A and B are shown apart, each in its own frame.
Chain A
Amino acid sequence: MPYLFRDDITRADVAFEASGRNREELFVSAWQALLDVMIEDGGPLEKRTMKTVDLENKSLELLLIAFLSEALFFKDSEGLLLSVDELSITETENIFRLRARLAGETYDRSRHEPGTDVKAVTLHHFRLERTAAGYSATVVLDV
C-alpha cells in the first residue's frame, strides 16, 4: 500500500502518509488515499467521465495541495469521484507543471459506500520530502 493513515497526528481530522518511487507515484498515492477517505475502499469507480487538469507551482508541496484540492472541487461542483488515469510532472526553470487525466463517475449512493466528506487539504503538519526510496508526503485533511 503506497499510503497509510496516521492516527497519531490528529483527533478531529484525518491524516495520511503517502509515498512513491518518483513524484508522479507520490501524487497518485496521495490522491488514492484521499479517495479512500471519501468512499469506502476507494471505489469501485467506472470511467464514465474524463477530466484534464493542468496546474503549475514553484513549490512541489503546494502543487500537491493544489492537485488534491481538485478532487474536492470536482466532488462538490459536479458530484464527481475521480481516480487518476495518467499523470505527468515536469520541471522547467524552477516551475513544476502537472498534467493529469482523471476518470470516474458521479457519486451514486446505491453503488458507492460513502466515507467522509472532506472539506479541505490543510497545511497543518504538511510535509513532502525526498527519501531513500523516492518521495514521501504527510497530509492532514479537514473533515
Chain B
Amino acid sequence: MEALKKISDVLWEIPLNRKNGMRVPARIYASEKLLRGMEGAVFEQITNVACLPGIVNFALCMPDGHSGYGFPIGGAAAFDPETGIISPGGIGFDINCGMRLLRTSLTEEEVRPRLEELVDGLFRRIPTGTGSGGLVSVTRDEFRELIEEGMAWCRRKGYATSRDLERTEEGGRMDRADATTVSERAIERGYKQNGSLGSGNHYLEVQVARAENVHDGRLARTFGLDRPNQVVVMIHCGSRGFGHQVAQDYLMKFLGVMGGKYGIRVNDRQLACAPFASEEGRAYFSAMQCAVNMAFVNRQLIIHGVREVFCDVFGKTERELGLEQIYDVTHNTAKLETHVVGGKERPLLVHRKGATRAFAPGMPGLPAEYRETGQPVIIGGSMETGSYLLAGSSGGAETFFTTAHGSGRVMGRRQAKKKFDGRELARRMRERGIVVRCASYSGLAEEAGAAYKNIDEVVRTADAASLSRRVAKLIPIGTIKG
C-alpha cells in the first residue's frame, strides 16, 4: 500500500515505475478499508494488465476487486482496436456471467405465507448444480441458431417478450456472433444446459425492497419499485459449459500464436492474448459473442421458468403479478464501445472481468425509458446480507462507465467450508426469515455471508467515486443455489 498514490478518499494509483513494462498507471477504486482488505495479488494482477499492448488511460480495479487469474476480478481495461489486444483472461471463463432483476407487484406481506411453496417450486423447476441439464432441450443445430440470435431466439420461440429484450444490455444479442468460430466441442459441452443455474456463487433469490432501504425514491419508481416492501427476483449465472469451453479453446489457441507469430510477452500465461485486429483475435471476438448470447438466453429461460412458478403458486397471470424485467447486466465481456479520451471520441475494446457496465443518463444504447435515469446496475451481494440496484452516472466516464459487480470474497472457499456448516447455516438463515434450497450444503457453506466483503462498503465507495448511484438495497427472503 505504501507504493500507492492517493488521488482521493476512494481512488488510488499505482504509478508507471512500479513494474517494468507498465504502459499506463493502474487505478484502484476503494475506500481505505476496502484497500486494506485487498490481497497483494490484486496489485500484482492489475499491474500485469497495465503492461498489455494497446491499453488506454489506466488499468482499472473496482471496489470489489479481488485476486482472480489473469485480470483481477473487478478488473477493467480499454484497448485500442487497431493496436491493442483481446484476452480471454480479461473476460473470464464464464463469459457473460451476469445479473438479471425481475420485479413483481407483490409485497413481502403477500409472499410470506406462500414463501416455502414458492422457493420449493423454484428449486424444483430451475435446474441447479452439477450435471443439471437445462429447462429447454434443443438440437445442436438449433443451439447454433440460439448462440447467433441471443434473446431474439427466445422471442421467436415464445420465451421472451420484446420488452425483455429492450431491458437487456445490447438488447440481448451481440451482432458479431458467428457459430462457425465455435468448436464442436464447445457446442457438445453446452447445448444441453440452456436454462440452468450452475453452482459456485450463482443463485436465484427472492428479495424485498424495504422502504428504509430505498436510497433514491425517484429512480426506484422509474425502475418500477413503487410500493413498500416490493418483492423482486434476482438471478446470477452465465454461459455454463459452453462459455467455459469457448474461453478454454481460444486461450490455448492464443498461447500458440502470442509469442511466435505476434511477438507479445505477458507476465501471466492466463493473460494469453492476440491482437484484436488479427485473424485469431477476431475469431475469438465472434465466438465470445456467441457465449454472451448463450448466457442472455440462459437467464431468459430461467426467468421464463420463474414466471411460470409465480403464476402457479399465486394462481394469477404474469400481467396480474407484474412480472416485468427491470434489467439484465453482463459482468464478463469485451465490447466495442465509443468513449471520450483526451477530449475526442474514439472506439475502444473495453474488457470487463467481474465488472459491470454502467452507462450514464443520455448515453446511446439505453432503452428510452431509462434514458434519463442512466442504466440500471445490479450488484449481487452475499446470500445473507443483500444486494443492490444502482444507476449509472456521468462520473463513470473515468472508468469507461464501469462499476463494481458484487461484494468480493474475503475468505477462501475451503476456509469457509471448514468454518461454516452448510446445514446449520441454512437453519440460521431460516430463523432470520430466509428460506434456502440448495443442491449442495458444502457449496452453501462456501457462500456464507462472512466469506464476503461488506457489500454496503463496496456500493458506498462506488457511489462516492461517482461510478454509479445507489437506488435501493434488496434483502433476500428466499434463495436457491447449486
Binding site for B on A (CB under 8 A): 5, 7, 10-14, 38-40, 62, 66, 69, 72-73, 75-77, 79-81, 106-107, 109, 113-117, 119-126, 140, 142-143
Contact = CB atoms under 8 A, between A and B. Distances in A.
Contact of A12 (B68, B130, B198, B251): B68
B414 A123 contact: no
Given A77-B189, A117-B199, 8 more contacts: A10-B69, A13-B69, A14-B413, A69-B248, A72-B189, A73-B241, A114-B482, A117-B129
A47 to B, nearest CB: 17
Contacts of A7: 412, 414-415
Contact of A109 (B66, B70, B129, B443): B129
A87 to B, nearest CB: 21
B473 interface: no
Contacts of A81: 130-131
Contacts of B252: 62, 66
Given A76-B190, A120-B248, A123-B272, A11 B130 contact: no
A114 B270 contact: no
Given A14-B413, A77-B188, A106-B131, A142 B93 contact: yes
Contacts of A62: 252, 255
Interface in B121-145: 129-133
B200 interface: yes
A116 B199 contact: yes
Contacts of A13: 68-69, 413
A107 B127 CA distance: 13
A106 to B, nearest CB: 7
7 contacts: A12-B67, A14-B413, A38-B130, A62-B252, A75-B241, A115-B442, A122-B69
Given A13-B69, A14-B414, A107-B130, A122 B93 contact: yes
Contacts, number: 131
Contacts of A125: 69
Nearest to B192: A77
A113 B409 CA distance: 24
Given A10-B412, A81-B131, A124 B442 contact: no
Contacts of B193: 76
Chain B interface residue number, banded: 35 or more
B218 interface: no
B94 interface: yes
Nearest to B272: A123
Given A79-B131, A142-B69, A11 B443 contact: no
Nearest to B482: A117
B39 interface: yes
Contact of B130 (A39, A77, A126, A142): A39
A60 to B, nearest CB: 14
A38 B132 CA distance: 13
> Among A7, A11, A140, which residue has the most Cβ atoms of chain B within 10 A?
A11
Contacts of B424: none
> Among B66, B189, B269, B413, which residue has the most Cβ atoms of chain A within 10 A?
B413
A120 B247 contact: yes
Nearest to A140: B69
A7 B131 CA distance: 26
B268 A124 contact: yes
A27 B48 CA distance: 30
A123 B270 contact: yes
A12 B440 contact: no
Given A73-B189, A119-B244, A124-B270, A114 B414 contact: no
Contact of B131 (A10, A11, A107): A107
Contacts of A73: 185, 188-189, 241, 245
A79 B442 contact: no
> Among A117, A122, A140, which residue has the most Cβ atoms of chain B within 10 A?
A117
B287 to A, nearest CB: 15
A124 B413 contact: no
Interface string B399-422: 000000000011111110000000
B240 interface: yes
Contacts of A143: 199-200, 413
A13 B416 CA distance: 12
A5 B412 CA distance: 11
B189 A76 contact: yes
A77 B143 CA distance: 14
A143 B199 CA distance: 8
Nearest to B190: A76
A107 B129 CA distance: 10
B178 interface: no
A13 B270 CA distance: 14
Interface in B171-207: 185, 188-190, 192-193, 198-200
A79 B443 CA distance: 18
A11 B42 CA distance: 11
Contact of A76 (B67, B129, B199, B241): B241
A13 B415 CA distance: 11
B39 A11 contact: yes
B73 interface: yes
Nearest to A61: B269
Given A11-B409, A117-B199, A117-B200, A124 B241 contact: no
Interface in B417-444: 439-440, 442-443
> Among A62, A75, A124, which residue has the most Cβ atoms of chain B within 10 A?
A124
> Among A106, A121, A142, which residue has the most Cβ atoms of chain B within 10 A?
A142
Interface string B51-87: 0000000000000001111100100000000000000
A122 to B, nearest CB: 5
A83 B439 CA distance: 22
Contacts of B169: none
